[in-house]
Amino acid sequence: MTISNRLQSLLKHVESVCVLTGAGISAESGVATFRGVDGLWSKLKPEELANFNAFMRNPELVWEWYDYRRKIIHNIKPNAAHEALARLEELVKEFTLVTQNIDNLHRRAGSKRILELHGNIERSYCIECGKFAENIEVTKEKKVPRCISCNGLIRPDVVWFGEILPEGVFEAAIEAARRCELFLTVGTSAVVYPAAGLPITAKNQGAYIVEVNTERTEISHIVNETLIGKAGEVLPCLISIMEETRNKK
Ligand SMILES: [Zn+2]
């Protein structure tokens, strides 16, 4: 992998970094996009299950689907890219990880300052009183979990089709993009708004934008540098450059 002199020197001194991640980083761990999967769920499109009307019509079905997905994700491990980003957080003063993924792999890898634009599949909340619930178990007897406080229906804390992003999360992401010196976009084509606005915001404020992806994307023409390759290989390289040069200080 070749990186520019500009990025080399930036990696030595940068103290404020913002990262945007998408499905590509988790795909390297084996998280499928849940389109075209085999068996039971192959006949239903995610759009038909991941929306509030579908949930109200048939909460059992929607919970069964999320339970299936959570079990798959639970058996998957964070990869070298997730770990590199957790390490990056320790190396700089200011760090924000903005993710479009709901799989919780960044947290499991050790990242701390995470803004989850689309929620988190391992978290749930009551649609009546808003109380959060963790470690929800769906069983044969109890297919739809209920709130222990008010008996309301519990739903996964993920952003469904047609829903707005969690309050304050996107605003915090914009703020981080405005402040950073280096903005990394990893495993995302970043064409879906509002996430697509983040690298543009960062660039307008003078940040250096680096894209890490297995192929060029629709935002390649606006970024300063595109590093083609697996995130699990490219990111550890960048981190080792940072660690090497910082140790020499
Ligand atoms: Zn409740």
Catalytic residue selected from 13, 82, 118, 221: 118
Q: Do you find a cis peptide bond into 145, omega within 30 degrees of 0?
A: no
pTM above 0.75, yes or no: yes
Rounded Cα gap, residues 146 and 160, in angstroms = 19
Ligand 1 centroid from CA 42, angstroms:
32
CA-wise closest residue to 185 among 231, 121, 119, 242: 231
- Listed residues: CB within 5 A of ion ligand 1: 126, 128-129, 131, 147, 149-150, 152
User: pLDDT > 90: what percent of the chain?
Assistant: 69
Q: Is 221 a catalytic residue?
A: no
Helices 231-247 and 80-91 pack at an angle, to 10 degrees, of 30
- For the segment 14-65, what is each residue's pLDDT rounded down to a tens digit? 999 999 999 999 989 887 655 445 556 666 778 888 999 999 999 999 999 8
Q: How does 144-177 read in b/e, with b if 16+ C-beta sit within 10 Å?
A: bbebeeeeeebbbbbbbeeeebbeebbeebbebb
CA torsion through residues 109, 111, 117, 122, sign: positive
CA of 153 to the centre of ligand 1 (A): 7
| Single-letter amino acid code for the residue at 173 | A
CA of 132 to the centre of ligand 1 (A): 9
Ligand 1 centroid – CA 45 distance (Å):
29
Mean pLDDT of the chain, nearest integer: 90
Centre of ligand 1 to C-alpha 172, Å, is 27
